Chain A
Amino acid sequence: MLRRLRALPIEKPVTMAPASFQLIAALVLRETSMVYEPHKEYLVEARLHPLAAQAGCADIDAYVQLVATRPAERRKAIDALTINETSWFRDNAPYQVFTETMLPDLLARRAARRHLTIWSAACSSGQEAYSIAMLLDQHLPAGWTADILATDVSTAMLARVEAGRYSQVEMNRGLPATHLVKYFTRVGAEFEIVPTLRRMVRTRHLNLAERFPAVGQYDVVLLRNVLIYFDQPTRHGILRRMHQHVAPDGYLLLGSSETTLDLPPDLHAMWEREQIGRVQTHRPTGVSRLPATGDTALAPRPPIPHPAGSTLTGVRP
């Protein structure tokens, strides 16, 4: 989760003093075992900058002095420096359910169209969208295509998705080693997603808190671990707007801590909760889901337009 950093550039000139960085690195190592290696000053700065501003410090060095003398500030700094970053296949279970239940169901329902649409609605640096792309690469039958839309409020994050490059630390987070070997190539100190997967994902700027642009309707919408960052009225507004963007027989996936959100009666009536294994999904109500015998009876929508080359065909070994 990089949401706290989104107002800041990922890379920017290093301004913190070496002694400040050393103090912070030693503190984090002692408290959490997490290693901040030299040359990660930009990351420390990015993570501490909002706290420094909040504390009224003129610069990061002044804030580090505050951290050194105030235990409460030290705790806040450590939290910021160890905040969970986005993982590949985060929480595992939703991706298992996607592969084992949703995908077979959708393959049956979309047999006529032979095209699937997925929306990663708060894509951050893209691990969610590319995790889905890996699963589709492995499980989509020959002749099928897929389109993954990745949206985020941060243009910096969208640029990261488009670059498809990840640090070693990011590669460690939940990505099976076999996938690292199969779907990435080493570029300097980073790893870059292979073009076949990169072409499946298209990006678009979208602020969930505002009225959505015409993004179309999707078979699966992943809206995971983002609602918790909004206040209740905004959360409710997002879920109301999202209703028309999930296919009548499609699935909405929220984060594990978001499925228990209290909803007002009208919103509660818009979504039907369906437990699939260990995962709770949300599906639009008011639609009678026909047996999965093809999608023609479900008044299919036209395929979501996507740029040439952004589809996947066939299954690789």
Chain B
Amino acid sequence: MTQSPSQRALIIDDSKAMRSILRRIVAALGFETAEAGHGQEALDHLEAATATGQLPDLCLIDWNMPVMDGYTFITEVRKRPEWRGVTLMMVTTESEQGQIVRALAAGAHEYVIKPFTPDAIAEKLELLGLVTKGVLA
């Protein structure tokens, strides 16, 4: 799979190991990556990125994190019209359908339940139009 040049992904997860796994997956899809350990750190990143015109195209967001959880992060992002173009994808162990509905209603574009395979991330990003499959059907 390939994607347009210069796409950026912000990986938000309190687990360093999970950030590393996600970083390798999205980097392989051609994204430049940045990381945050919780929602507030991610908001700070978006603020700084707004100032420099380097907003990420994609945020991969864990739900349960210290300081600010992923759900709160999404609601905060959705309050800011200038961040409307950022695609938000939850990547979480929360698998109850009620939680999925909550995340989608808050503004998440897609949802991946941990554990996942690398292909699952790639396929979701293809659904979101962020990557294009190299070999078309």
A contacts, CB < 8 Å to B: 32-35, 37, 82, 84-85, 87, 89, 91-94, 168-169, 171-174, 176-178, 180-181, 184-186, 255-257, 278-279
Do A168 and B118 touch (CB < 8 A)? no
B24, CB-defined interface residue at 8 Å: yes
The distance in angstroms between the C-alpha atoms of A174 and B101, with both chains bound, is 18
Task: Assess whether B21 is interfacial by the CB under 8 Å rule.
Answer: yes
CB distance from A37 to the nearest CB of B (A): 6
Q: Mark B105-125, 1 if CB is under 8 A from A, else 0.
A: 000101111011111100110
Min distance, Cβ B133 to any Cβ of chain A, angstroms: 7
Residue of A nearest to B136 (CB): A278
State the Cβ distance, B18 to closest chain A Cβ, in Å. Answer: 10
CB-based nearest A residue for B135? A256
> Which of B31-39, B66-74, B75-83, B92-100 faces chain A?
B92-100
The answer to whether B127 and A176 have CB atoms under 8 Å apart is yes
Q: Given A176-B110, A178-B104, decide whether A93 and B96 contact each other with a Cβ distance below 8 A.
A: no
Residues of A within 8 A of B120 (CB): 169, 172-174
- Let me know if B130 is at the binding interface, CB within 8 A: no
Kindly identify which residue among B24, B104, B112 contacts A172, using a CB–CB cutoff of 8 Å.
Answer: B112
Cβ of A169 and Cβ of B137 under 8 Å apart? no
Shortest B61–chain A CB gap in Å is: 13
Say yes or no: B21 contacts A92, CB within 8 Å. Answer: no
Complex Cα spacing A82 to B117, Å = 8
Please state if B24 and A94 are interface contacts (CB–CB under 8 Å): no
CB distance from A171 to the nearest CB of B (A): 7
Contacts of A34 in B (CB 8 A): 117-118
| Number of interchain pairs (Cβ within 8 Å) | 81
Interface size class of B (residues with CB under 8 A): 20 to 34
Which of A82, A94, A178 gathers the greatest number of chain B CB atoms within 10 Å? A178
Q: Does B43 touch A at the CB level, under 8 Å? A: no
B111/A173 in contact, CB under 8 A: no
Pick the contact of A91 from B104, B116, B118, B137 — CB < 8 Å? B137
Q: Which residue of B lies closest to A277 (CB)?
A: B136
Given A93-B136, A172-B112, A256-B135, residue A181 in contact with residue B100 (CB < 8 A): yes
A278-B133 Cα distance, complex, nearest whole Å: 11
Q: Is the CB of B127 within 8 A of A174?
A: yes
Given A172-B112, A186-B96, A92-B126 contact (CB < 8 Å): yes
Contact, CB under 8 Å: B137 / A93: yes
With A33-B21, A256-B135 as known contacts, state yes or no: A173 contacts B104, CB within 8 Å. Answer: no
A37's nearest neighbour on chain B, judged by CB, is B115
User: Bound state CA distance, A78 and B133, in angstroms?
Assistant: 23
Closest 6 CB pairs of A and B: A91-B137, A172-B120, A177-B111, A256-B137, A174-B123, A93-B137
A169 near B117 with CB under 8 A, answer: yes
CB distance from B43 to the nearest CB of A (A): 23
Query: Residues of B contacting A186 with CB < 8 Å?
Result: 95-97
Residue numbers in B under 8 Å from A33 (CB-CB): 21, 24-25, 118
- 5 new A-B contacts, CB < 8 A, other than A177-B111, A181-B97, A181-B104, are A33-B24, A35-B116, A93-B136, A169-B117, A180-B111
- Which of A32, A84, A92 makes the CB contact (< 8 A) with B127? A92
Q: Which residues of A contact B96 (CB under 8 A)?
A: 186
Least Cβ–Cβ distance between A178 and chain B, in angstroms: 7
Most chain B Cβ neighbours within 10 Å, of A34, A82, A94, A255: A34
A87 to B137, CA, bound (A): 14
A41 to chain B, nearest CB (A): 15
CB distance from B58 to the nearest CB of A (A): 15
Q: Is there contact, CB below 8 Å, between B119 and A84?
A: yes
